[in-house]
Amino acid sequence: MTSSPADLLARRARLLAPTYQLFYDEPLQIVRAADVWMYDEQGRAYLDAYNNVPVVGHCHPQVVEALARQAATLNTHTRYLAELPLQLAEELLATLPPQFASVIFTCTGSEANDLAVRICKAATGGSGFIVTEFAYHGATDVITGMSPEDGGPLGPGVYAVPAPVGAAGAAAFGAAVRRCLRRMRADGVRPAALLVDTIFASDGVAAHPAGFLAEAAGQVREAGALFIADEVQPGFGRVAEARWGFQRHGVIPDLVTMGKPMGNGHPVAAVAGQPGVLAAFAQRTRYFNTYGGNSVSCAAALAVLQVIREQELLKNALASGAYLQRRLQALAARCAVVREVRGAGLFLGVELGENPASGLAGAPEAARVMNALRRRGVLVGTTGRRGDALKIRPPLTFAPQHADLLVEALEQTLAAGD
């Protein structure tokens, strides 16, 4: 028998630490999901336009079958010879530029970013890192200090620059990184890396113009540092024009981190790197992760790559993403509340301003809209330093008819002011 939401809330308050948070003013009790739909305890369907972890759709049968089959056969770690980690590494590397030579498996994107930071320190001898002002890169102690979205202080040697959001944001990003490097030199801090999420998801989403990241990457390399492309959110085809967000910018990172959608809900992540960088790290230390690269995780990730390839989901994301953006841009043209539509593929940010219908503006309006959409059966999030943008990142199976549902619900919500 399924517990009621009220019972679950009471048990949750008693059993789980207060660090946990729930989505929405009226928390959802989700009991099952399939493709782009999630279902509550009463059987009501919700269009999932937010959760990027189920990249090929919730509970995809090929992924589920691969998980079950491998779990019934063998699940062990990388200290035994096995085919699956090698096959996964080969398939991942085939999606990356030829400069990338090998892969290290972890369980989460947080671990992948934490490991990338360690690698950069070993390879450069530096200790300084540049991130954007409202970035999120993970939950380890070190990476929390590089994730100002969490609200804590920056870690030692960590510097933040303005995100490339807004009218002059992208054009000014390279100059901001250059100024930051000068500050680091003045402070006696040797730079190790620039770490950015290549869609700037937590900063409010920034994707255009394509290519603007190249200048910043060049600046850090001239200073003897490296460039880490955090693809935990934009990777695996989310930006549609390419498999990885950095590819839109014509730049080749030194390290690429990936996670979240890699296992379609199963915890699996990785760091891919250029050979000289990884060799410098390996000369100083070894890295072993008991669950990183385990058999079941590799089977799940391989199934995800197979589904993306066989179902041509990058093509679908490109077409559906373009359709969704056109509909949102048309809404913005007739509704002044929508200030800007940003992003690429099926990863979008919709910035909201003042709404006469609700009497709210910015972050309060975005929060109101998110909760009102939930009541209308559509799930989105919010993002940005000011919290004034809706965050839209549905599974890659999202289709034009789903975009129609989303935009129609959004237009109704903006007009109603409820």
Question: In terms of domains, do 44 and 156 share one?
Answer: no
Reference 96, options 281, 231, 295; nearest CA is: 231
Please give the DSSP secondary-structure letter assigned to residue 351. E
Has residue 340 got a pLDDT over 70? yes
Residue 84 has pLDDT above 80, yes or no: yes
Same-domain check for residues 257 and 123: yes
Chain centre distance of CA 49:
14
Asked which of 292, 310, 328 is the last residue of a domain, the reply is 310
* Domain end marker among 263, 288, 310: 310
Count of domains observed in the chain:
2
Q: Are 302 and 319 found together in one domain?
A: no
Closest CA to 80 of 295, 266, 281, 267: 295
Q: 133 and 216, same structural domain?
A: yes
Q: Are 294 and 325 contained in the same domain?
A: no
Same domain, 256 and 295: yes
Q: Tens digit of pLDDT for each residue in 249-281? A: 999 999 999 999 999 999 999 999 999 999 999
Q: Are 235 and 200 in contact (CB under 8 A)?
A: no
* 341-366 confidence digits (pLDDT tens): 999 999 999 999 999 999 999 999 99
Residue 184: is its pLDDT beyond 80? yes
Tell me, yes or no, whether 281 and 363 share the same domain. no
CB–CB of 199/238 below 8 Å? yes
1 band by pLDDT with thresholds 50, 70 and 90: low
244 in Cβ contact with 256 (< 8 Å):
yes
Mean pLDDT, the chain, as a whole number?
96
**CA distances in angstroms from 187 to 19, 128, 156, 159, 182, listed in the order given:** 35, 10, 12, 11, 9
Beta strand 269-273 with 338-344 is: unpaired
Alpha helices (runs of H) in 269-352, residue ranges in sequence order: 275-284, 295-310, 313-334
Q: How is 172-187 classified by DSSP, letter by letter? A: HHHHHHHHHHHHHHHT
Distance CA 169, CA 279 (A): 36
pLDDT value of residue 168: 73
* pLDDT per position as a tens digit, 299-318: 999 999 999 999 999 999 99
Distance CA 304, CA 54 (A): 9
pLDDT of residue 116: 98
17 and 164 belong to one structural domain: no
Provide the CATH number for the domain around residue 280.
Answer: 3.40.640.10
* Statement to judge: residues 32 and 129 lie in one domain: no
pLDDT tens profile 223-246:
999 999 999 999 999 999 899 999
Residues spanned by the domain of 233: 61-310
- Domain limit, last residue, from 289, 310, 331: 310
Give yes or no for residue 167 having a pLDDT over 80: no
Mean pLDDT of all residues in 119-123: 97
Which segments within 57-154 are labelled E, that is strand?
102-106, 128-132
Torsion of CA 147, 153, 155, 156, to 10 degrees: 150
Residues 26 and 146 in one domain: no
Q: Is the pLDDT of residue 379 over 90?
A: yes
- Same-domain status, 259 and 365: no
Q: In this structure, what CATH number is given to the domain that contains residue 382?
A: 3.90.1150.10
Please indicate, yes or no, whether residues 194 and 118 belong to a single structural domain of this protein.
Answer: yes
